A and B are shown apart, each in its own frame.
Chain A
Amino acid sequence: MSSFSLNTPKLPAADRRARRQSHKWPIGIVVVIAAVVLLPVATLVVAAMGGTGEDWPHLARYVLPQSITTTLRLLVLVALGSGVIGVGCAWLVVAYEFPLRRVFAWALVLPLAVPPYLAAYAFAEFFHYVGPVQSLVRGLFGFERPSDYWFPDIRSTIGAAIVITAVTFPYVYLTARVVFLMQGRNIADVARTLGAGPARVFWRVLLPVARPAIVAGVALVLMETVNDFGAVQHLGVNTMTLAVYSTWLNRGSLEGAAQIAVIMLVLVLVLLTAEQMARRKQRFHAPRGTQINIRPPRKALSGGRALAAMALALLPILAGFGVPLAIFGRYALNRLYQFGEPALAEAFLTSVAVAVAAAGLAVGAALAILYAARLVRSPVMIFMVRLATVGYALPGTILALGLLLSLARLDNAVDAFARSHMGFSTGLLLTGSAAAVILACAIRFLALAEGAVQAGLEKLPPNLDQAARSLGRSAPASAVSVLLPLLKPAIFTAAILVFVDTVKELSATILLRPFGFNTLATYVYENASRGAVEEGAVAALLIIVTSILPVALLSGPLMRDRGA
């Protein structure tokens, strides 16, 4: 946000005071939103402090060093993997022309539809001894027993990194591609006229320019990695998230679990800060006119090179989308009758309804805090915005637990008040309804909405709405009439990101849902938790398809709009 200050002329002291006066309400809104987001976090911190600390010698000696090392190894591997694949693919489809390039360009987003826990299950099946890959290896080389040959174990830190990378690299791909398309063109052209070849342009000009966007994408990937529970549990990789659960559930120490969760939170705040610092250097409000009409010069590939390009683009799609689809598709084939089951239809509708509500809530909150931050540019404001997005960092169950404890207290207080003053019981208004689930998802995915809206907002020069305001419109009016229409694509992107992640969300939903409330994810999980993921295959496919549709919607306009 600090970039804008360069464009803002110094106001006389009196005017500045007047501005500050009129900016009480945006600060108020941000404070309220940040408070709601921080409610579960604060509850957990209080729980953590309530602990006796008697478990610490054990945790510090046997649990934390190992789980922190594993988590960091996983983060480094996933960062490398998603960075290389995401940036590589983005560059491939932006800079080169080859058959089916347009198809690949949007299909590279598909893995986003597969939640890591489903990917982990599919990969474990795919690379298992009795799975298709090893069977093929044995068939080809005539091996008969596992001891006859060496095969890498997917149930390892590297395996988990591959699984998580395979389904999360599109976050990097999306952010990197937009920058290559939007920002890089002019400077790349300049570099080219100065005689630089494509490789040199990429390494010396485009990569440094895209770095902030890449870091932002990688940060999202890493937060998803920290939060993942299902995939690492299935693959037997002992991350901090797993340590939180075994401390909570096996040692019955909610306080100890909260303490580890707080350490994780610190780790994530570091990640978020890195992301924000990277973004701070991003400062492009180049006039739109020069960008939209110029087609980027694409180097046409032919023959073997074209084939190689196609293979390179196809591989990540096959890994992150093809493998899960094939594994669940095979199981679903044996269970086609499930498509007709009312329970599944109900779960589907519930998933969509919750996802729409959470998307609306998260995008609304993101717009409010970002617009407030645009009006009031202060370090405190930037910090508040950052705080409001920490929900993404918390493992779903931990966030849900914090929310449950605080909301239930609120519910009971409201109920007690109603009973004593009005003579009736309100029951559990929030924790007894879908409200708690929707709120949990909105809090968790506010960071996604914020990131997407922010990316859009950054491209709108401040003089836009300032012009409207200089013509006498109030701040909110100029925001609605000038900024909102221009932000439509960004709002759409934000809503879809939240929608997709809410459809996939599992752990918070499981803990907070009321009676008779099933989403597609809980439907899959109920089956998976008794070791029969195959019974949930149909629901898993529905999750993937439900997530694809909006993603396809998202990439459609993106393609047309930018001549990609």
Chain B
Amino acid sequence: MLIAGFAALAMAAGFTPALAQAEGTVNIYSYRQPFLIEPLLDAFTEKTGIETEVLFLDKGLEDRIAAEGENSPADVILTVDIGRLVNVKEKGVTQSVDNETVNANIPAEFRDPEGNWFGLTTRGRVVYASKERVDQDTITYEELADPKWKGKICMRSGQHMYNIALFASMIAHHGEEKAEEWMQGLKANLARKPNGNDRGQAQAIYAGECDLGIGNTYYVGKMITNDKEPEQKEWAKAIKVLFPNTEGRGSHVNISGMALAKHAPNRDNAIALMEYLSSAEAQAIYAEQNFEYPVLPSAETAELVKSFGDIKPDSLPLAEIAAHRKAASEMVDRVGLDEGPES
């Protein structure tokens, strides 16, 4: 009775179930914010006449597709973070794609060997340093544990997926024991309890709360171009971007990527979208829009992004890094990283 009642209410409110198999559309389940992908999708619709529908979720996307099963309207999955790409594959909600265009556009190191996910852009997890208070222009991740930075480092929660991926790469390179020692050192060097987002770390450096922060490259572009909140330009001006380990193995990079949903009702349209997203045109829009690095080697990196300096990405395969995520997450708990420096 209750269910009948609220179904009636729902109908009265004018909400009907989404059409899963409408002609000429492609349904996107996205962990990426709609505004980031809108310019791309608009260009895609203009080119192909295929309409796009986006559902933005921030948690549980894999679980939702899995629960919906064969009736899932999802065609294409868009997400950031290698961990999530690996998750969607492991949850069994993707299918393999073997498409010449896509394979030609996306270098092998940025896609799943079995074709279940494809990287679209990369972003470096770098060190923001105070222009005023930090003299050196090179740095390594390992150095962040050096006591000389005691009380000088700011970061967001250690459990955030961007940091988890970074810590997983430390485990991949140094083994669990060494990585944990390093994390202890990092914790001891924190200026305060990890909090906020990457932008907040730049703000903290600007405010003088700390000298170093850990953040993604594209946030710097976002702040520099923020006309509506000009004070963010000040934060960005207060920092310089240091690409860690440039002289060694290279900086840790993460990816944003796409996958084809297992029961994609609009499979052909979905493939068309995936081809488009990997194309030089789309890659350039993506890079320009969000200040990320395109994965297609021939696509142009935005001028502003180039001005941060040259990035040398860590060559360790992302799939291997993703395998250490659970260990990294547990290590953060064990070390008590999120409790801050004193505890």
Contact = CB atoms under 8 A, between A and B. Distances in A.
A429 interface: yes
Contacts of B280: none
Given A412-B70, A435-B6, A129 B209 contact: yes
A348 interface: no
B90 interface: yes
Nearest to B197: A531
B183 to A, nearest CB: 13
B316 interface: no
Given A249-B161, A427-B71, A530-B36, A36 B198 contact: no
Interface stretch (B103-111, B117-125, B270-278, B330-338): B330-338
Contacts of B196: 124, 155, 234, 236
Contacts of A145: 208
Interface in A115-157: 124, 128-130, 145-146, 153, 155-156
Contacts of A234: 195-196
Contact of A252 (B10, B195, B208, B326): B326
B16 A433 contact: yes
A334 B230 CA distance: 11
A432 B18 contact: yes
Nearest to B74: A515
B17 A236 contact: no
A251 B329 contact: yes
A99 B198 CA distance: 47
A353 B55 contact: no
Interface string A430-445: 1111110011001000
A236 B194 contact: yes
B134 interface: no
A129 B207 contact: yes
B159 interface: yes
A510 B13 contact: no
Interface residues of B, number: 75
Nearest to B265: A427
Interface in B51-76: 53-60, 63-64, 67-73
Nearest to A433: B17
Nearest to B207: A129
Contact of A404 (B1, B67, B157, B203): B67
Interface in A355-376: 356-357, 360-361, 364-365
A526 interface: yes
Contacts of B222: 531-532
B300 interface: no
Contacts of A400: 60
A124 B1 CA distance: 46
A277 B73 CA distance: 47
Interface in B269-324: none
B207 A250 contact: no
B10 A250 contact: no
Nearest to A429: B17
B5 A364 contact: yes
A454 interface: no
Interface residues of A, number: 82
Interface in B61-117: 63-64, 67-73, 83, 87, 90
Contact of B330 (A62, A66, A356): A62
B148 interface: no
Contacts of B16: 433
Interface string A384-409: 00000000000001001100110011
Contacts of A224: none
A169 interface: no
Contacts of B176: none
B60 to A, nearest CB: 5
B193 interface: yes
A306 interface: no
Nearest to A397: B59
B159 to A, nearest CB: 4
Most buried by A among B7, B17, B27, B33: B17
B18 A516 contact: yes
Nearest to B331: A62
A106 interface: no
B231 A130 contact: yes
Nearest to A156: B193
B22 to A, nearest CB: 10
A531 B199 contact: yes
Contacts of B73: 427-428, 432, 515
B44 interface: no
Contacts of A251: 325-326, 329-330
A310 B71 CA distance: 60
A146 B208 contact: yes
A357 B6 CA distance: 8
A32 B6 CA distance: 14
Interface string A454-467: 00000000000000
Contact of A438 (B10, B14, B67, B71): B10
Interface in A488-524: 507, 510-511, 513-517, 522
Given A130-B207, A252-B326, A360-B9, 11 more contacts: A32-B2, A129-B204, A334-B228, A361-B2, A405-B63, A411-B71, A435-B7, A514-B55, A515-B73, A531-B200, A535-B228
Closest 3 CB pairs of A and B: A236-B195, A434-B15, A408-B67
6 contacts: A58-B333, A242-B159, A252-B326, A357-B9, A361-B2, A428-B20
